[in-house]
Structure 1
């Protein structure tokens, strides 16, 4: 791939860098692993003066292939983004394309190695650990094929139950147990009350309470107030909308997920996402490497690689993995005390580098 979309066509955006990233770069891949492609593209400086801003990144639908603009790359590197930092230390066998401007960026990559880099690695890793415990909610609670119905979020208090003889008054019950058919009723909003409606039975002449995705409130004739009043409707619309979003997200995940990743959880072998925790430990080891060697750890080998493979295979419990993570963090805290890395990236130097690389690319493509 030599060129990508640019909002202005005089000089097309071109690829400065392309590599195989992810597990194949780390050395943790299996036969079922996806191939992740990451890259960097350049755009003419004049494109950033257009009203229609150029893209920060271009990707496929599943984000298996992602290209970042040079400007966005420098911006994320300055913010100590772990994923972008990896691109500056890719193993040679993973690099597919590397333009002169990228070679210059690699030569000056130490500009972006800071104590903040270690902090972002550790912080992101622990945010993932917090999400890992317990089987995935979608595995524990699969969604039915049919989306949630509005009627499932309706409760009613029938007229007879508003003040029944010998029973507690005003006890809502699910719509399905009430015997009320909303298609045979009209609704009128109860004043000063949210999600509460009066119901009136109009039988076969009714237009129904729901019209599409909304509840329709009617003006009820005074003569019908007493004769047709059937009870009160409580409709939790927000809960239905959230359930609908959850349902859509679940089925999107089902369509797009990597089935092999979920086999251990679905079979009940593990109560956590082993692949996620493997990459969490890898991030922690990379943060430690920044403090020890002044660069992140991308290609893992030796005992560390075997450890990550064993974690993914489910040979350690969640508590054991957390103990390992805490031990790495303790090492990092100790290393910070004697670390001579700058606290942050020099913003002025990063901006100057962006300008230099852009001018060099424009001159080469003039």
Structure 2
């Protein structure tokens, strides 16, 4: 099912422009994001052909099935609460049935904390991006050999250097496991390649060392330590880094690089916005979508602050939200029973069911 099919079938109950245009933070380069609510044809719903969400290819337009919308609403999901609280000039269409949802029923302590907690997730994302930007990884992937060290006196020497000093090859090495010594191996060398040693690794892409059958009369050359934990951590970081490179929004990344602060400034702008909205829920009993401090937030987006300054600011706001929540007289969470009955009545009305 596509969005066009929903529209042609008259199944859309609500749609609104969201994101930067709703916040009043749009600039010349801003996209137009649309979110909406629909209900399924009665045949699909009753036959179990349930579709929770429909989106376009770019994910700029996302529509939630009524039941999914109510489920997320019951959990005080920030995106869903913002959709329900859309400014009048951002609402593209609203079926009268949607008027049954009153925003005041969802102004709760849980709502404030979901906004605040979502904001802190953005802080961690920004920190992770900060680390990726300032610690780029080489495209050439390291081998397990780069995590191998030969015990030398009271210290150690990298296996590559140890072999190079002797003009030896890793392919001529033979390893034997040492019992009760994790990561430690006895290393032997076959200069004329007659003993069938398998090398330290079979190939440079190998994730494990190779074991060889060592004749009893062979002389031990060295003890080898393989830091498997460090190699595993490196592989995870390498995969995460280059997955990020392949999936990142290049235009947004260029903006991050241009302001020179080494973090995603748009991400941190939304962090402060979310925390300020959380405070407003608790102090004013309202969810204000259109932001009154456009210039301040766009200043953050431009990279005018350092990551450390914004981190401290976000921590202070989060503590304020926690303190306000502790003394708030707002309901703890939405009335789940009322919301469930509301959904039942809406489905009866939409499907003209009489029970």
Q: Same fold (TM over 0.5)?
A: yes
TM range (shorter): 0.7 to 0.9
Give the root-mean-square deviation of aligned CA atoms: 3.9
Deviation at 1:88, TM superposition (A): 0.4
Secondary structure of the residue aligned to 2:222 is strand
Aligned to 2:188: 200
Is residue 178 from structure 1 mapped to residue 174 from structure 2 by the alignment? no
Q: Which runs of 5+ in 2 are unaligned?
A: none
CA distance in structure 2 between the partners assigned to 1:44 and 1:229 by the alignment: 76
1:232 alignment counterpart: 223
Report the TM-score when normalising by structure 1: 0.75
- C-alpha distance 134-14 of structure 1, shift in aligned 2 (>3 A): closer
**Counterpart among 284, 295, 299 of residue 310 in structure 1:** 299
Q: Are 1:218 and 2:211 an aligned pair?
A: yes
Worse overlay, 57-66 or 75-84: 57-66
Q: Say which of 108, 113, 125 aligns to 2:102.
A: 108
Aligned length: 340
Contact 1:151 1:175 in 2 (8 A): yes
**Alpha carbons of structure 1 residues 350 and 45: separation in structure 2 relative to 1, 3 Å:** farther
Counterpart in the other structure of 1:269: 260
Runs of 5+ unmatched residues, structure 1: 5-11, 162-167
The 2-side partners of 1:286 and 1:19 are apart by: 19
Q: In the alignment, what sits opposite 1:164?
A: none
Aligned match of 2:176: 188
Deviation, 1:324, is 5.8
Among candidates 329, 334, 344, match of residue 355 of structure 1: 344
What is the match of residue 146 of structure 1? 140
- 1:21 partnered with 2:21: no
Task: Kindly state the Cα deviation for residue 230 of structure 1 after the two structures are TM-superposed.
Answer: 3.3
CA distance in 1: counterparts of 2:233 and 2:12, whole angstroms: 41
Of residues 263, 270, 293, the one that matches 1:279 is 270
Question: Aligned-pair distance for 1:342?
Answer: 1.3
Distance (whole Å) between structure 1 residues aligned to residue 310 and residue 209 of structure 2: 54
Deviation of the 1:265 alpha carbon: 4.9
What is the alpha-carbon distance in structure 1 between the residues aligned to residue 39 and residue 180 of structure 2?
A: 58
Q: TM-score, normalised by structure 2?
A: 0.77
In the alignment, is residue 291 of structure 1 matched against residue 282 of structure 2? yes
SS in 1 for 2:287: coil
